[in-house]
Amino acid sequence: METQRIIEFPHKNMDKRPRKRPRLTWDMPPPLPPPKVLPAIYCAQEFANGGIPNYAHPNIFYRGLQSSPPRRADDKDGHYVFVIGENLTPRYRILSKMGEGTFGQVLECFDNEKQEVVAIKIVRSIHKYREAAMIEIGVLQRLARHDIGGTRCVQIRNWFDYRNHICIVSIYWYLQIAI
């Protein structure tokens, strides 16, 4: 018995999947005009999920003027790679590195919105450290609620997730006094 070679499928439409109907002009969204300036995303956690609609603030930051740095890969240990003088986000400009530890590194940054110097702890982008940082945020927030004068523990100002790193913003002057 000799093997036959099949050149064509027996049915021409056997392998074809049903096609979607072509889009009609009435069900297509209108084209968006090209934006002149795109508003940047705030780093605050309350803005992280798309922002607050109709939010009017005098110090809105724009891409191009105070943009975030280009995306870089983390180092082999999961630490965020940065350059002093660049913007961590449109809101925070990196002034110096304050220190480094097991969980991550602490940067001295300038808050463009509040016009003050803050310390930002950038946690390594490793799952167990991210989980520990979320627990730390909960503990610091609970301590802050019970610390009436705000003098007994580090005051957490804000926190946000930036490029897979949990960032905890603290008041800088408090860290200077504690050292």
CA 59 from centre of chain: 19
The HSE-up count of residue 25 (CA atoms within 13 Å, CB side) is 0
Q: Which region, left, alpha or beta, applies to residue 103 given φ > 0 means left and ψ of -120 to 50 means alpha?
A: alpha
pLDDT of residue 115: 92
Residue ranges in the chain assigned as alpha helix (H): 127-146, 172-178
Task: Break the chain into its structural domains and give their ranges.
Answer: 35-178
Give, for all 179 residues of the chain, the pLDDT tens digit. Answer: 566 666 665 555 555 556 666 666 666 666 666 655 444 444 444 444 444 444 444 444 444 445 666 777 888 888 888 889 989 888 999 999 999 988 999 999 999 999 999 999 999 999 999 999 999 999 988 888 888 877 778 888 899 998 889 999 998 765 555 55
29 CB neighbour count, 10 Å cutoff: 5
pLDDT of residue 11: 58
Q: Single out the residue of 138, 67, 129 nearest to residue 103, CA to CA.
A: 129
User: What b/e sequence results for 130-153 when a residue is b if at least 16 CB atoms lie within 10 Å of its CB, and e otherwise?
Assistant: bebbeebbeebeeebeeeeeeeee
- Residue with tokens 């002057």, as numbered in its chain: 173
CATH topology of domain 35-178: Phosphorylase Kinase; domain 1 (3.30.200)
State the Cα–Cα distance between residues 42 and 51, nearest whole angstrom. Answer: 8
